[in-house]
Structure 1
Amino acid sequence: MARRPTSLAGRLLAFQLGLVAVVVLGVAAVSVAQSRYATEAGADRRARAVAEYAASVPVLRFELTEVAADGAQIAPVVEDLRTTSDVDSIVVTDAAGLVLAAPDDPRLLRTTLTPGDGDAAAGWSGGTTLGDRDVRAARAPVLGDDGALLGTVVVAIDDPSTAALLVTALPDLLTYLVVAGVLGVAGSVFLARRVKRQTLGLEPAEIASLTEHREAMLHGIREGVLGLDVEGRVTLVNEAAVELLDLPEDCVGTPLADHVPEEPLLGLLTGRSGTPEPDRMVVRSGRLLVLTRTDLERGGRALGSVTTLRDHTELVALQQQLVTSRDVSETLRAQTHEFANRLHTISGLVQLGLHDDVVGFIEALGRDSAAADAGVGRQLADPTVAALVVAKASLARERGAVLEVSADSGLPRVAPGLAADLVTVLGNLVDNALDAVGPTPGAHVLLTALVEGDDVLVEVADDGPGVDPAVLHSVFRRGVSTKDGEGRGHGLALVQLVCGRRGGDVRVDSPAGGGAVFTARLPVHADELAAPVGAA
């Protein structure tokens, strides 16, 4: 059975108790040192006082004067002084330091004892060794009536042991231990509860596990994920977001504005652009990005936002191909219908035997078709664009409308990439115009395509009812349409994305008298114009 990990409160309590133990040991060491210092200072004072008193006792002075050579008579006097003064040792020496009396340690007799430094006639106190004992001792001179040095009195008090000092400091240590223990336990419980409240009740092991899983999932997601706090600083980012937004790898903790200064991308990511909208599309470094930002809140307090980013560059390219295929299909269907009507007319004339009329009808159709195709070809030299316009003109005729290329148009042959973008832009704008005019007899759509400086301008004007003012500023957003039905609202959004990817734009004007004019601007490079047939 797996052992259950210790809780955060238990770990904090163990840490606090360990800290208290260390503190108590430190306090004990300091207390012992202070007690030793105080004890030694007191012993020095006491030994000095006893030594000075003993040196002034007349009996001792008399014995040292009269019978200095015989310490047997001095010993009882010294022992009385030791007993009454309650010290451990009193030793009497002659002027030369020869021990005459040492009642408590006879081994010292007839040895030389000169504790301390300096003149024996001067007093002294401090630590020294007496026999085999460490003592605090004091020395006092015994002087005769004429001031001559008769001998010395050495008073010694044994040094206390560490255990004795601990016993002395024990009451204070117990007080410190109890107070520190209570404070430590209370602090541990309070800190543990506060930390667990801020970590949503998770233990450290659980937090570490969640962090590891989060990092694994964050970097395992193919979509870009970008987290920001309320100040716009990056709080989390995965490798996909770093690549899509061209961010430095060490951007976490830095303001996003330092790395993404351009609008509207910065406003969409930080929320300055207003309420979050799903699937907003922007262009960044040649990539078409789809952003979905979600604001984060907890307890009514804003925490920041998380934005997912998807690269739709390839998807848009595929969508352009699908749009082209759709246009071709619709054009073929319209031409099939138109050719069927013409074949039915020719069949009827043949059945009526009007063969000359059949020839005239066919020649007229040929002249009209050649004239229309030649006119488009002169103004739009690129075969891909010209073919699309011819096909859209047939579709317009089927709907009862007229698609006209303006006399101001002038488009040279262009590179295939630019041609594909022009097909997408022009095809969607024309389709939008034809949908706007509807099956109105005599409806007119005017197309202008020309090179102006470093841009290709495409303008499509219609005489329909115009754009509803309520959607005038949002008509290029995906899903926004003035027409009923599902699956609409993508054509104009695709036009804006293609233009934006090249660094251009598209706008709409809706005059008060009716109609709408859509103008798209696509910046181009010099090598994309007048490209030879088959250029890559």
Structure 2
Amino acid sequence: MRFPSLPRPRSLAGQLFAMQAVLIAVVVAGYALFTYVSDQRQAEDAAVRQVTAVARSIADAPSVRAAIHTSDPTAELEPYALQVMRDTNVDFVTIMNPDGIRWTHPDQQQIGKRFLGRIGPAQHGRTFTETYTGTLGPSVRAVTPVTDNGRIIGLVSAGIKVEAISERVQDQVTALFGVAGGALLLGAVGTYVINARLRRHTHGMNASELSRMHDYHQAALHAVREGLLMLDGRYRVALINDGGRELLAVGEEQEVVGMSVADLGLPAPLTGALLSSEPRVDEVHLTASRVLVVNTSPVSGGERRGTVVTLRDVTELQSLMGELDSERGFTQALRSQAHEAANRLHTVVSLIELGRAGEAVEFATAELELAQALTDQVVAAVSEPVLAALLLGKTAQANERGVELVVSADSRLDDGVLPPELSARDLVTVLGNLIDNAVDAAQGSVGARVTVTAYTSASELVLRVSDTGPGVDPAHADLVFQRGFSTKPAGPGGRGLGLALVRQAVTRLDGTLTVAESEQDGAGGAVFEVRLPLRTVVGPAAGPGGDV
């Protein structure tokens, strides 16, 4: 996902490198200044100690005293002074008489001339140091007396030029800058490598684009009504949006991020679909109160990184589809009945044309009485309009399929007896799916029949549907209510959803749903019984065979 081109800001890696370069430059500059000042002082102190030690060593040497007493001290002392300079790494060694006239000097032209600098403290028997600009330039020097039996017979001065001391400090500072340059280069290489790796992980997006993407991401999560669930490679919840929480009945106060899918308390088929490594496309799953369409897709990337799950609520759609199926069934029944009515009308017309008007009237009257008797039977047993209409329609549908649908004499359900919490849609879902399932089971059996019983007591509504089909294997007594289970071949739209919807509706209404073997007339088959609690008083008790 890329965003519209905007003035591209400096990359995060560039900013990090610039900050790193500035930080290293500030640190190196500060440390270089501190080092220069500190090392300059330390170098001067070291030079003072060095020249003092050299000067005293020369002054204490017996050979020097002996040479001073000769008639030509320069001839003896000049080679010695030059050798000491080479051995001790000092810039000059000057040996002079007590008045400061040089006997030795690195520049032979200066021999015999007066020493430049102070010599007073040495003439009084003290060793001292100073920084002075002489014939060789500024230097740190030490001056000490040469004594013989307590008498000062000469002076010795050893010195190191300030330029040489600065060169030593500069070498250290240069080495420091070299280390700083190496650190900066290493930081640049490291920043480049990290930036390249970061861009691979962020698909080339910089920090600003990632920030905008996060804002869009958060807005989309809250705006999308469908449920969105993201699982990591270990099938733990990495992200869930508001729609997902609502569809999976996960409260806002419940912290589910980091939980395993198996710990969410979802129905087993839905949990299995979420835990599957194979993608799922438009699978229908039921929760306690909803019908969900589930799609799963693994996150690509060369390794198992997780799964993206989308959830759509089709509870209302499924209910409308059920009603549409019922309406379609009613239409087919009416079309069939219209065809049958046309045949009967032709029969009546033919009887009249044959001059048998009495027989025509008798035939037509018998058909009307039969239809009215069926209507009167249903309405007398179940006067609640929605269920009565459902039973009449299902009777016509069952008749078209060669199955007799009857309302038992034990039924009694008057209009207005049901409380508001039992909606007509829920009752149609429960009773309609039970009847459709029973008709499917009874079709083709000997004496195919479906019997419906509906009545209320003081505390519950009882709906019972039995059939003459093959019955339900006790081993499958619980499996028949799971989505996808069916003993019949699957059609284009799949099978096994009706009874699952029944159980969902019954569970939502706090009722019970059971299946057992029918013992009616020894015909076998199955009997499904639903008991729904009534939360309001419905009047005097009524039961099988009783009147209200």
TM-score calculated relative to the size of structure 2: 0.62
Could you say what secondary structure the match of 1:302 adopts? coil
- State the AA in 2 paired with 1:51: A
Distance, in Å, in 2 between the alignment partners of 1:274 and 1:192 is: 35
For residues 232-251 of structure 1, the aligned pairs below 5 Å read: 232-238=235-241, 240-245=243-248, 246=250, 248=252
Q: 1:383 aligns with which of 382, 385, 396?
A: 385
Q: 1:447 aligns with which of 437, 452, 457?
A: 452
State the partner residue of 1:53: 57
State the partner residue of 1:463: 468
Distance, in Å, in 1 between the alignment partners of 2:277 and 2:463 is: 29
How far apart are 1:106 and its partner, in Å? 7.3
Q: Tell whether the 8 Å contact from 2:39 to 2:169 is kept in structure 1 after alignment.
A: yes
Q: 1:267 aligns with which of 262, 266, 271?
A: 271
Q: 2:296 aligns with which of 293, 296, 321?
A: 293
Could you say what secondary structure the match of 1:254 adopts? coil
How far apart are 1:36 and its partner, in Å? 5.8
Could you say what secondary structure the match of 2:297 adopts? strand
State the partner residue of 1:431: 436
Does residue 1:477 correspond to 2:483, yes or no?
A: yes
Pair 407,243 (structure 1): closer, same or farther in 2 beyond 3 Å: same
Does residue 1:519 correspond to 2:519, yes or no?
A: no
Q: Quick one: percent identity of the two aligned structures?
A: 27
- State the AA in 2 paired with 1:212: M
For residues 393-412 of structure 1, the aligned pairs below 5 Å read: 393-397=395-399, 399-406=401-408, 409=411, 412=417
For residues 151-166 of structure 1, the aligned pairs below 5 Å read: 156-159=159-162, 160=164, 164-166=168-170
Q: Tell whether the 8 Å contact from 1:382 to 1:414 is kept in structure 2 after alignment.
A: no
Pair 336,48 (structure 1): closer, same or farther in 2 beyond 3 Å: same
Deviations 1:278-322 (A, max 9, x none): 4232336x54322122344655x4332221111223323433442
- State the AA in 1 paired with 2:308: V
Pair 153,36 (structure 1): closer, same or farther in 2 beyond 3 Å: same
Could you say what secondary structure the match of 1:314 adopts? helix
After superposing the two structures, state which structure 1 stretch, 487-496 or 21-30, moved more.
21-30
After superposing the two structures, state which structure 1 stretch, 253-262 or 389-398, moved more.
253-262
For residues 97-112 of structure 1, the aligned pairs below 5 Å read: 108-109=117-118
State the partner residue of 1:302: 304
Pair 175,357 (structure 1): closer, same or farther in 2 beyond 3 Å: closer
How far apart are 1:385 and its partner, in Å? 1.4
Q: Tell whether the 8 Å contact from 1:223 to 1:241 is kept in structure 2 after alignment.
A: yes
How far apart are 1:421 and its partner, in Å? 0.9
Pair 488,192 (structure 1): closer, same or farther in 2 beyond 3 Å: closer
Q: Tell whether the 8 Å contact from 1:78 to 1:101 is kept in structure 2 after alignment.
A: no
How far apart are 1:336 and its partner, in Å? 5.3
State the partner residue of 2:234: 231
Pair 515,178 (structure 1): closer, same or farther in 2 beyond 3 Å: same
Distance, in Å, in 1 between the alignment partners of 2:246 and 2:220 is: 14
Could you say what secondary structure the match of 1:526 adopts? coil
For residues 493-512 of structure 1, the aligned pairs below 5 Å read: 494-499=501-506, 502=509
State the partner residue of 1:212: 213
Q: 1:315 aligns with which of 302, 317, 326?
A: 317
Deviations 1:122-155 (A, max 9, x none): 8788xx7557999756576777746x99999775
For residues 412-427 of structure 1, the aligned pairs below 5 Å read: 412-415=417-420, 418-427=423-432
CA RMSD of the aligned region, Å? 6.5
Distance, in Å, in 2 between the alignment partners of 1:46 and 1:17 is: 42
Could you say what secondary structure the match of 1:353 adopts? helix
How far apart are 1:422 and its partner, in Å? 1.0
- State the AA in 2 paired with 1:226: L
Could you say what secondary structure the match of 1:430 adopts? helix
Distance, in Å, in 2 between the alignment partners of 1:135 and 1:521 is: 114
Pair 497,456 (structure 1): closer, same or farther in 2 beyond 3 Å: same
Extract unaligned runs of 5+ from structure 1.
Answer: 63-73, 94-98, 114-119, 531-536
Distance, in Å, in 1 between the alignment partners of 2:411 and 2:155 is: 132
Pair 253,261 (structure 1): closer, same or farther in 2 beyond 3 Å: same
How far apart are 1:247 and its partner, in Å? 6.2
Pair 140,322 (structure 1): closer, same or farther in 2 beyond 3 Å: farther
How far apart are 1:264 and its partner, in Å? 3.3
Distance, in Å, in 1 between the alignment partners of 2:361 and 2:197 is: 102
Q: Tell whether the 8 Å contact from 1:129 to 1:135 is kept in structure 2 after alignment.
A: yes
Q: Tell whether the 8 Å contact from 1:405 to 1:447 is kept in structure 2 after alignment.
A: yes
- State the AA in 2 paired with 1:267: T
For residues 193-208 of structure 1, the aligned pairs below 5 Å read: 199=201, 202-205=203-206
How far apart are 1:484 and its partner, in Å? 7.0
How far apart are 1:391 and its partner, in Å? 3.4
Paired positions, count: 500
Pair 165,425 (structure 1): closer, same or farther in 2 beyond 3 Å: same
Distance, in Å, in 1 between the alignment partners of 2:38 and 2:460 is: 91
Deviations 1:185-227 (A, max 9, x none): 987887677767x649x54559957993983896475533322
Distance, in Å, in 1 between the alignment partners of 2:379 and 2:20 is: 97
Q: Tell whether the 8 Å contact from 1:288 to 1:501 is kept in structure 2 after alignment.
A: no
- State the AA in 1 paired with 2:293: V
How far apart are 1:47 and its partner, in Å? 1.5
Q: Tell whether the 8 Å contact from 1:466 to 1:511 is kept in structure 2 after alignment.
A: yes
State the partner residue of 2:545: none
- State the AA in 2 paired with 1:306: V
How far apart are 1:388 and its partner, in Å? 1.8
